Chains A and B, each alone.
Chain A
Amino acid sequence: AQKVTQAQTEISVVEKEDVTLDCVYETRDTTYYLFWYKQPPSGELVFLIRRNSFDEQNEISGRYSWNFQKSTSSFNFTITASQVVDSAVYFCALPVLYSTLTFGKGTMLLVSP
């Protein structure tokens, strides 16, 4: 079955600390995409990244980086030098039937000044 697990329910850090959000997935597909979304208190899901399973290179975008390891079915997300504006709930997601998404339960990140 297609499944996404985000074991960290809540993480609290102080501004400028680095933080890694974990995502472990299960899929029976041989090729697939993985996604990360950010959900600020306003509620809208903000797309962060889409990753194809045949590209295992790490990706960096500013303070954000992603580590995809197919061997361990993990797609972890690191924020470097966190800022208060990074406070949000972060979701990892995997496409399932009809190209819709199955989401993990999310990790709430609280960054304090």
Chain B
Amino acid sequence: ETGVTQSPTHLIKTRGQQVTLRCSSQSGHNTVSWYQQALGQGPQFIFQYYREEENGRGNFPPRFSGLQFPNYSSELNVNALELDDSALYLCASRPKSSDNEQFFGPGTRLTVL
């Protein structure tokens, strides 16, 4: 148990729709990262938030956006969904002093039809 939860577990959307995925971190974990994991691939870094501000971004377009809240929860929003957005979305949290160790949630499986 990592103490990181994600909702929903599974989600089915159609192309062009918008989706919001949620993550709840452990208390005190003020850094949260989101990753996209396509089938058969390793997780790919989307972006990271620290104290409610984005402080790093991977190679993902602006239609991927996020929010982090003071209660250690966060959201990943994806607009104008495309078929290739179908993947497992993982959030990972850590305290600032963790020396890189990240605690992953169970993920949300998004299917875009």
A residues at B contact (CB < 8 Å)? 4, 33, 35, 37, 42-47, 50, 91, 93, 95-106
Contacts and interface: CB of A to CB of B under 8 A. Distances in A.
Given A33-B100, A50-B100, A100-B48, A105 B33 contact: no
A35 B103 CA distance: 12
Central interface residue in B45, B48, B55, by most chain A CB within 10 Å: B45
Interface residues on B, range: 20 to 34
A48 B103 CA distance: 11
A55 to B, nearest CB: 13
B106 A97 contact: no
Interface in B78-113: 88, 90, 92, 94, 99-107, 109
B48 A43 contact: no
Given A42-B106, A99-B31, 9 more contacts: A35-B101, A45-B90, A45-B92, A93-B42, A100-B33, A100-B56, A101-B92, A103-B44, A106-B41
Given A98-B55, A100-B45, A104-B42, A47 B100 contact: no
B42 A103 contact: yes
Nearest to A47: B101
Nearest to B107: A43
Given A97-B56, A98-B55, A100-B33, A43 B42 contact: no
A81 to B, nearest CB: 26
B43 A45 contact: yes
A69 to B, nearest CB: 21
A39 B8 CA distance: 19
A95 B90 contact: no
Contacts of B70: none
A44 B100 contact: no
A95 B56 contact: no
A95 B100 contact: yes
B20 interface: no
B2 interface: yes
B102 A101 contact: yes
